[in-house]
Structure 1
Amino acid sequence: MTDTTETRNISDALGKCLPFLRRYARALTGSQTSGDAFAAASLEAILTDRSVLDGVEVRTGVFRVLYSIWASAGAPIEEGESGMRAKAQKHLAKLTNHSREALLLHSIEGFSFEEVGIIIGVSTDEANELVQIARREMADHVTGSVMIIEDEAVIAMDLESIVSDMGHRVTGIARTQAEAVKLGNEDVPDLILADIQLADNSSGIDAVNDLLGDLGLRPVIFITAFPERLLTGNKPEPAFLISKPYTVDQVLSAVSQAMFFSSTETLHS
C-alpha cells in the first residue's frame, strides 16, 4: 500500500469517526464548545503524528488520543461555578476515576470492554468493572422526573418503561411541539427526552427550545436515526444524543449521564 493510499484511508476513517468523537467529547465536558475543541485537538495531534494510531484500529486509536488529551488537561468540564454547572462539578467529584468515561465509551459509543481498556489505559477486566461502578454510582445519586417527546407510540411506551424502571417519574408523552410545550408547563420535568422529527412534521428541537425558554436550563437528550447530521460542529448542537435504533443500555446510560451531569446545550433552529 502506498503512503498516499494509506493517508487517504486514514483520512476517510477519521471523517467517519468525527461526528461520534464530537458526541463523546461533548458528553465528557457537558458542552458543545468544549467538546468540539477537544475533538479538533485530537485530529490535529493525529495529523501531526500518525504513529499515535499504531497498533490499534483507527476508531479505537482516535478515541484513545482524545481521551489522553482530555485527561492530560485535567479532565475538565465546562467552566462555571453557579447553577447546574456547579452541581455537575460537585457530582463529578464524587465519582470513581475513569468510571463515567468508561460507561460512555461502552454504552453510548459501543466499544467493547477490551477497546475501552485500550482507550483509557486499563485492562479489559478493569474496564468492565469501571462500567459497572459508574452505573451504580450514577443510579444512586440522581432520580427525578422525565418528559418524553416522541410521536411513535411503540417507541414512546418503550422509553417510558425504561425510564420508569430506572426509578424516574415520567411526567407524560407528547407527540407534537404544541403538546410538548403544554405538557412541560403543566408538569415541569427535570430532564427532557426528545425525538427530532415529530408528528405533524413539527420539530423536537423547536419543542425543546420553547420549553427551555419557558422553564429554564435543564438536561436534554435527543434521539435521532441520523446522529451524524446533528454532530457537524457548524451550529449549536446537542451535548447528549442517542442513535436510533437504540438499545436499552444506551438509554439507561444516557439518562443517567444527563440527569447526573445536570448540564446540556441544545440545538437552535
Structure 2
Amino acid sequence: MGQQLPYLRRYARALTGSQETGDTYAAATLEALLSDASVFDHAAHPKTALFKVFHVIWHSSGAPTGAKDSELSAAAHAHLEKLTPNSREALLMTVIEGFSAAEVAQVTSMSKEDVNALLQSAYDEMKASVAGRVMIIEDESLIAMDLENMVTDMGHEVTGIARTHKAAVTLAGQKEPDLILADIHLADNSSGIDAVKEILGDLGDRPVIFITAYPERLLTGERHEPAFMIAKPYTEEQVKVAVSQAMFFSSTETLKA
C-alpha cells in the first residue's frame, strides 16, 4: 500500500487544486486505515482499495476544493459549480491515474455505465471550459513544440516558451500567464521549480503543472511541492486533462469563458 501513497497524493492534490488540502485528505485516509483496517478491501488491487477509502472520506466531507476564502476561491468555485458532480474524479482517475472504468466504479461504488456517462460529461465540459494564457518552460525543442500544439488546440494562448530559469522569469514579466506548464530540469542545469517559485513570488498565485520523469520525488509531502503533475512519458490526453483541470483553479483577469 505504501507504494501507492504518492499517487494518492497526486490525485488528491489535482482534485483539490492544493498540495496542502490534498495531502490532508491523503493523511486522513491513512488515519482511517490505521484506526479500522477492515475498511481496506483486500480483494481489490491495493491502489483501488486505497482510493476507495479516500473517496469515502472525500465525499463525507462534502468534496471541497483546496482554495481558501479569497479571490482564487471565488473563481475556483464559480468554475467548479458548472461541472457535473463526480465528473472530475472519474476523469482524473482514468486519464492521470490509469484506472479503468470498471476500477473507477469500484472506487466510487457506481456502475460502470454511470462512470462512462461521467467521463463523457467531463470531456464535453473540457471543450467548453475557460481559455487563458499558458506559459511553457521546457528546454527540449520538440517537446516544447508538442506541448504548444496541444495547448493551442484546446483554445489557449501560449505566451511563449522559455528554456532556462532566467528566460522564464523574463518571459513571465513580459506577458503574465494564467497557468504555467514547466519541466523540472532546464537547459542550463537550472531548476524549473526554482523558476516557478520566483515567478509566483513576482506575479502571485496561479496554477502550475510540472512535468517530470520521477513524479514520486515530488509527492512526499515533506516540502513545498506541486499540486498538478504529469509524468514522463506523457500522452496528449494527459496533458490536455491536466491543463483543463488546473485552469479551473485560475483566477486571473485574462481568462475567457
| Deviation for aligned residue 1:51 | 2.8
RMSD: 1.3
Map of 2:39 onto structure 1: 52
Partner amino acid, structure 2, of 1:174: A
Question: In terms of mean alpha carbon deviation, does 73-82 or 249-258 score higher?
Answer: 73-82
- Specify every segment of 5 or more residues in structure 2 that has no aligned partner in the other structure, as ranges: 252-257
> Is the 1:138–1:260 Cα contact (8 Å) retained in structure 2?
no
Kept in 2, the 8 Å contact 1:117–1:124? The answer is yes
- 1:155-188: CA deviation from partner (whole Å, max 9, x where unpaired): 1111111111111111111100011111111111
Give, as a single letter, the amino acid of the residue that structure 2 aligns with 1:177.
H
* 2:91 partner amino acid: L
Question: Structure 1 residue 76: deviation in Å?
Answer: 1.2
- Tell me how far apart the structure 2 counterparts of residues 194 and 19 of structure 1 sit (CA, whole Å): 20
Aligned residue pairs total 250
Q: Partners in 1 of 2:19 and 2:247 — Cα distance?
A: 17
Task: Say which is worse superposed, 254-263 or 100-109, in terms of deviation.
Answer: 254-263
Q: Distance in 1 between matches of 2:162 and 2:3?
A: 33
Instruction: Name the amino acid aligned to 1:144.
Output: G
- 1:226 equivalent to 2:214? Answer yes
Map 1:194-209; keep pairs closer than 5 Å: 194-209=182-197
The residue number in structure 2 matching 1:9 is none
AA in 2 matched with 1:104: L
Structure with bigger RCO (C-alpha 8 Å, 6+ apart): 2
Correspondences of 1:76-87 after superposition (within 5 Å)? 76-87=64-75
Q: Tell me the residue number matched to 2:250.
A: 262
1:38 has 2:30 as partner: no
Q: TM-score, normalised by structure 2?
A: 0.93
Letter in 2 for 1:66: F
Matched, 1:214 2:202: yes
What corresponds to 1:243 in structure 2?
Answer: 231
1:95 alignment counterpart: 83
1:102 shift after superposition: 0.8
Name the % identity: 62
Structure 1: gaps of 5 or more residues: 1-13, 264-269
Q: Give the TM-score normalised by structure 1.
A: 0.89
